[in-house]
Structure 1
Amino acid sequence: MVELRVFFFPMLAHGHMIPTLDMAKLFAFHGVHSTIITTPLNAPAFEKAVQECNHSGFRMSIAVVKFPRVSGLPEDCENADQLTSPAMSPLFLRATQMLEEQVEQVLEQHRPDCLVADMFFPWATYSAAKFGIPRLVFHGTSFFSLCASEQVRLHVAADKLENDSDEIIVPNLPDEVTLLVSQLPIYQRQKNESEFSKLMIRIKESEMKSYGVIVNSFYELEPDYADHYRNVLMRRAWHVGPVSLCNTSVEDKARRGKEAAIGGDECLKWLDTKKADSVLYVCFGSVSKFPSNQLHEIAVGLEACGQQFIWVVRKGKNDEEWMPEGFEERIKGKGLIIRGWAPQVLILDHKAIGGFVTHCGWNSTLEGITAGVPMVTWPSFAEQFYNEKLVVEILRIGVAVGAKEWVAGTGSGNIKREAFEKAARSVMVGKDAEERRDRAKALKEMARKAIGEGGSSCLDLDALIKELRMHHSSC
């Protein structure tokens, strides 16, 4: 049998690179030669996993393209996580769009059987087509948010969204889903005027012309929305997740993403001293960065809720400004603060974790589901408010903290300590908390079956690979 070659091209941000690496590993485990296209300063994030995959008898490699230089970006900035101001975001996006010519050279040289490219590269559909290569789109989110976002795009006119406090019903979905206008993505409230709005239009156009969409989810999690996406919105789509479950060893889980600010052993040792379901894990992803006053409210709320906790705080210029006087002394033994990157999957999988305060990015949300942990939801931007609706109202495994405003690139900074304390306590303690935890643990079992032999995601991935082989044979 001829070896199938699939190239993966993630957006240059850890929230996109991590699931893409996991997905590439899954393809490799299914007999595909997986190659990741990236830039020089991002390549080290993939190298160890690629080496280990090859040592285990599978096939993976890396293709490096040079990051374009754009005035206004630091010379060593090749990852969105390195951006230090909102003004840099459009410059960084512009630089990524300039990778087109180099990626085409890679495709022309290697002629892979498929290109899985991040949604933020709309030109990838047309670049792949030049060489007769099918392009799959990777959005890195749920079926639910893909369906809700598309129904808003198709049926909710931006010029009708006048008041942020107005409530809208997302049309045509299997469930009744309501959102405040202020919770909709900014680009869905604009009349196609901003550069980002125009990019989102190009993304949608290129998706419609692509070979299909690959989704990091599993059928049992959101069956009505997997069906809606494919049968109502008429998208060709394959679910292959949760892709994080390709990491089975402690070492694999500990080194996902950037270098952790704390050793996996140290984390596990601390958690081993705690009772099952007794620790609240608080982390808002790799991008959201709260202002000092909001961090202060979280600290006070955490202390007041009476729960043991691990809190991951992003490093900033004024790291300790927000901290209540004597806070660290008072929480010794009861709370663990991690400044920087944390081995999240390793932490969530520990039996001591009983709740997860999350920004509702899909990676984190799905990792929480996969670990069987109920959530406090605190969305900020991107598709996070859609994901909150899935977690709280459809799956009924979450408690909303009350965030009401879509704020790009930063955490919603107006949640008071009392609201946070109430949500944190309600996800950890009481009859409702136990019922949420039971539902979450049932989803955990479904997730593990889905990715295993004969499971829904395993079968969908096999079907996709078989289809790509047939496409290869017919060319």
Structure 2
Amino acid sequence: MCVYNCIYIELITTTHHNHSSSIHKKLMGIPHILVLPFPAQGHVNPLMHLSKRLVQHGFKITFLNTDFNHKRVVSATNEHVNLEGPRMRLISIPDGLGPEDDRNDLASLCVAMLRTMPSLVERVIEDINGLDDDASEKISGIIADVNMSWALEIADKLGIKGAVLCPSAAAISAMQESIPKLIQDGILDSNGLPVKNRKFQILPGMPIMDTADIPWCIGDSTSMKIIFDYVVRLVQWSHLTDWRLCNTTSDLEPEALSLCPKILPIGPLMESDDNLRSLGQFWEEDLSCLSWLDQQPPCSVIYIAFGSFTVFDPLQFKELALGLELTNKSFLWVVREDIDTKGNTKTAYPDEFQGTRGKIVKWAPQQKVLRHPATACFISHCGWNSTVEGLSNGVPFLCWPYFADQVFDKSYICDVWKVGLGFDLDEKGLISRWEIKKKVDQLLGDDNIRGRSQKLKGMIVNNTLEGGQSYENFNKFVEWLKE
């Protein structure tokens, strides 16, 4: 019996609906890959971009979300979905949590997934491969998020190909690979917790880190231990394959990649065509912001977006709103309905906030916004997707990290690449409205930062052109999948 929900996505241009049967015939004999992201927006996005590139290279993709996120993706895609396309299929299985559980509780999510999902993923593959005697329709490989690398055991058991994609910086993998040394050097204890607060550096040239900002140190000590144990097992599982891809480039992270030479940079994984719609979003994109940007002068708009996890204390939200007002500049601000820590369904803007110079949306087509000539700078939570997208478009950053690897990414942006600035907290532990205005003025007045941003953009984009390292690595991977 089928264990998953399913929807087809059309990624081929056709002129008549009655061509669907002929398309099916053309697809016979092409490689069929199961793609498995970690259930978070910042992980679904790069794996979706990778999937679409594989479709362009002739692959058939079955993209496996959790039931919870599958519903969000289908809802956000709305009427833009064509249900007739055979090239990419979106399916889903349970994540092991109940409808009332908090899926932002990473420790509980990891425990539930490990308890529930491996057996279901195996059944999904067996179901699909048992539906048809034609070997060409059978799943021949798995590409898993590195944070779901337990799936490599399934690939090994079923005798199919297995690969992982790291959707964060290669430096995070380097840090995870360095866990035994960090314990040996007395930086971490055997539970992965900091022995004491201190600075450390994995390799010269990589960001200097604070033990308080180690990515798995989230929540209470029990949660940290659960997440750390999960990370240690992920490192072990990831070595079950020789194909460990990463959404980065050799120009961005030469030191981290030298420490982990088996990691292949294939980034940046981004939408390359403004005419293609985004797939895999958890919220419907408000495209009206693009026509609004068209009406703004070049390099005049502050873009503010904090990803899918960040939440704000109401006092900090107020300071941000009034800080944007204080800059006296146009702004495009992404404000999710769940961005308030109080759980308000409608965020309360301060009475003094007019917002007349800006546009506020619930979710934006971020790559198109960052590519737009009106965008001057990016106030960001520094998630790796946002970081890569900003860098690839030469947009300077104002860094406002929330948790996990975002603090690490901020160090890259401000201290290593020097294409952005951070904010300082006031005596109340807030980023004040005056600090926001000060840093916006400082960033936009610094031609050196903008020059470095443009130079880095050129280096990154060249990696994806014929002859570039990311281009060549991706082609090698495609050939291996097709063997």
**Does the TM-score normalized on the shorter chain lie above 0.5?**
yes
Determine the structure 2 residue equivalent to 1:260. Answer: 284
Residues 213-362 of structure 1: pairs in structure 2 closer than 5 A: 213-230=244-261, 236-246=262-272, 248-253=273-278, 257-260=281-284, 262=286, 264=287, 266-316=288-338, 317-318=343-344, 322-328=348-354, 331-332=355-356, 334-338=357-361, 340-362=362-384
Instruction: Indicate if the aligned counterparts of 1:158 and 1:191 stay in contact, CA closer than 8 A.
Output: no
Unmatched runs of 5 consecutive residues or more in structure 1: 78-82, 231-235, 405-411, 471-475
**What does the per-residue CA deviation read over 1:269-289, in whole Å, with 9 as the maximum and x for residues that have no partner?**
221222211111111101111
Pair 197,118 (structure 1): closer, same or farther in 2 beyond 3 Å: same
- SS of the equivalent of 1:445 reads helix
Instruction: Indicate if the aligned counterparts of 1:53 and 1:60 stay in contact, CA closer than 8 A.
Output: no
- SS of the equivalent of 1:368 reads helix
Determine the structure 2 residue equivalent to 1:100. Answer: 118
Q: Matches of 1:376 and 1:257 in 2, distance apart?
A: 24
Determine the structure 1 residue equivalent to 2:390. Answer: 368
Pair 148,202 (structure 1): closer, same or farther in 2 beyond 3 Å: closer
Range moving further from structure 2, 27-36 or 278-287 = 27-36
Tell me the amino acid that sits aligned with residue 289 of structure 2: C
Determine the structure 2 residue equivalent to 1:407. Answer: none
From 354, 367, 386, the counterpart of 2:408: 386
- SS of the equivalent of 1:99 reads helix
Determine the structure 2 residue equivalent to 1:473. Answer: none
Pair 362,211 (structure 1): closer, same or farther in 2 beyond 3 Å: same
Residues 16-27 of structure 1: pairs in structure 2 closer than 5 A: 16-27=43-54
Q: Matches of 1:353 and 1:145 in 2, distance apart?
A: 29
From 448, 454, 474, the counterpart of 2:461: 448
Pair 53,420 (structure 1): closer, same or farther in 2 beyond 3 Å: farther
Range moving further from structure 2, 281-290 or 313-322 = 313-322
Q: Matches of 1:344 and 1:386 in 2, distance apart?
A: 21
Determine the structure 1 residue equivalent to 2:165. Answer: 138
Pair 347,53 (structure 1): closer, same or farther in 2 beyond 3 Å: farther
Deviation at 1:139, TM superposition (A): 2.6
**What does the per-residue CA deviation read over 1:245-289, in whole Å, with 9 as the maximum and x for residues that have no partner?**
34x024525x66134363x1x212221222211111111101111
Deviation at 1:365, TM superposition (A): 0.8
- SS of the equivalent of 1:459 reads helix
Deviation at 1:368, TM superposition (A): 0.8
- SS of the equivalent of 1:130 reads helix
Instruction: Indicate if the aligned counterparts of 2:106 and 2:227 stay in contact, CA closer than 8 A.
Output: no
* 1:177 aligned onto 2:236: no
* 1:401 aligned onto 2:423: yes
Tell me the amino acid that sits aligned with residue 124 of structure 1: A
- SS of the equivalent of 2:277 reads helix
Instruction: Indicate if the aligned counterparts of 1:50 and 1:61 stay in contact, CA closer than 8 A.
Output: no
Pair 113,198 (structure 1): closer, same or farther in 2 beyond 3 Å: same
Pair 335,415 (structure 1): closer, same or farther in 2 beyond 3 Å: same
* 1:421 aligned onto 2:437: yes
Deviation at 1:457, TM superposition (A): 1.7
Deviation at 1:30, TM superposition (A): 2.0
Tell me the amino acid that sits aligned with residue 424 of structure 1: V
Tell me the amino acid that sits aligned with residue 121 of structure 1: M
Tell me the amino acid that sits aligned with residue 325 of structure 1: D
Instruction: Indicate if the aligned counterparts of 1:169 and 1:176 stay in contact, CA closer than 8 A.
Output: no
Instruction: Indicate if the aligned counterparts of 2:142 and 2:155 stay in contact, CA closer than 8 A.
Output: yes
Deviation at 1:379, TM superposition (A): 1.2
Deviation at 1:32, TM superposition (A): 2.4
Pair 238,52 (structure 1): closer, same or farther in 2 beyond 3 Å: farther
Deviation at 1:180, TM superposition (A): 2.4
Deviation at 1:344, TM superposition (A): 1.3
